[in-house]
Amino acid sequence: MIYALGLVALALALFVSVCLHEAGHMGTAKMFGMRVTRYFAGFGPTLWSFKRGETEYGIKGIPLGGFVKIVGMTPQEDDADDPRAMWRYPVWKRTIVMSAGSVVHFILAFFIFWGVAATASLPNSAIDTPAEQLAQPAIVTVAECIPMVPEKGCQDTDPKGAALTAGLKDGDQITRVGSTDTPTYLALVGAIRTLPAEQKVDITFLRDGVSQTVSVQPTVVERTPIDDPDGKKTKVAAIGVGQDFLPALKEPVHYNVVEAFPVAADYYGRTISGSFAAMKKIPEKVPALFGAISGDERDPNGPISVVGASRIGGELAEVGAWAQIFLVIASLNLFFGIFNLLPLLPLDGGHIAIAWFERARTWVYARFGKADPGRVDYYKLMPVTYAVIFIFGAFTLLTVTADVVNPIRIFR
């Protein structure tokens, strides 16, 4: 029951976000005097509607988004001769209207981050990024085995953990491997991975403030680079330890309503950077989705659909992590906002790009004393538009299928 509640709550939050996106377009269009004839939440058959002024508002039967009808978004539309058609307005006004949906996502994301920081807590920002985590002292957790495939955890055929066999324990801070000092966890990994295979090495560590030394025999494994989880695997040495943190760093941090603003801004910037990085990696992640559908291990950092995000919401709800659900909603809002501004039709960014192309072309023609070439013919761009729709549609179908048959699970 709790799982279903979390799943529905996250899906509903995303549905509301999309409806607010469309409300952003409608509100700014009305503000500038453009004619807005329809605003609906959902698609398909109309369940309920009413008309106020010149605009019909309502709810449709398929809650997979929403839409707003602004008269004359392109000069080729049937109602483009209306004196209040959108295409007749200055390019800066059309830019504001078309970008307003994404701006709504950006505002929602910020205030969700702020709300979580002010009312719940956030992870310690000192270890938010992989670089910051790797720069922490080499405090370790000790595994029972050395997994040959880390994504699958310990298997019956995996060798016993060398660190465990040597007597290392969770919370030990390794300070030296052989003759190499290890002031950080990154230095520790580098020192271990370059060890000669199957040769014992002395490892010095701190436990309860007392320095001790044990002899450990590494095992050869295949691993990706520590600073590039998606990189090519190579053969390296391993002893069966992972990273732990100082107790103070593991505790979530509470902020008041004023302190929460800069913290929210910091998380906001980090999430934007992560969104751009994720979008850049989407093409290289697609083959793994086909593999996941056929039964391969699902990439935990791979793309997910709204279905997958909702399932993660259900898992978080089961363990009472409601603050994390809101953080997921905020992150998705930022991603949607950025994605919609890509300069591709039929996305909002495509309409903005065309508007500014027209403006630039008019300026260039005027500089050379030539007549204004007029508006871009959207009909000539339809093949490109259909291609974009097909690619995005196929990608959506692929991610939804993967999320149904082989979903990403944060708790296994």
Could you tell me which residues are beta bridge partners of residue 177? Answer: 180, 203
Burial 32-47 (b: 16+ CB within 10 A, else e): eebbbebbbbbeeeee
Distance between CA atoms of 404 and 311, rounded to whole angstroms? 9
Give the Cβ contact number of residue 15 at 10 Å. 17
Q: What dihedral angle (degrees, nearest 10) is formed by the CA atoms of 332, 338, 340, 343?
A: -160
Distance between CA atoms of 405 and 308, rounded to whole angstroms? 10
Cα–Cα distances in angstroms (integers) from residue 162 to residues 144, 208, 212, 236, in the given order: 9, 22, 17, 14
Query: What's the start-to-end Cα distance of the chain, in Å?
Result: 19
Residues serving a catalytic function are 22
Please, are residues 38 and 67 in contact by the beta-carbon 8 Å criterion? yes
Distance between CA atoms of 318 and 310, rounded to whole angstroms? 13
Distance between CA atoms of 340 and 334, rounded to whole angstroms? 10
Which residues have CB under 8 Å from 74's CB, separation 6+? 80, 87, 375, 378
Could you tell me which residues are beta bridge partners of residue 201? Answer: 216
Distance between CA atoms of 318 and 80, rounded to whole angstroms? 52
Distance between CA atoms of 344 and 352, rounded to whole angstroms? 9
Six-digit token string for 20: 């607010």
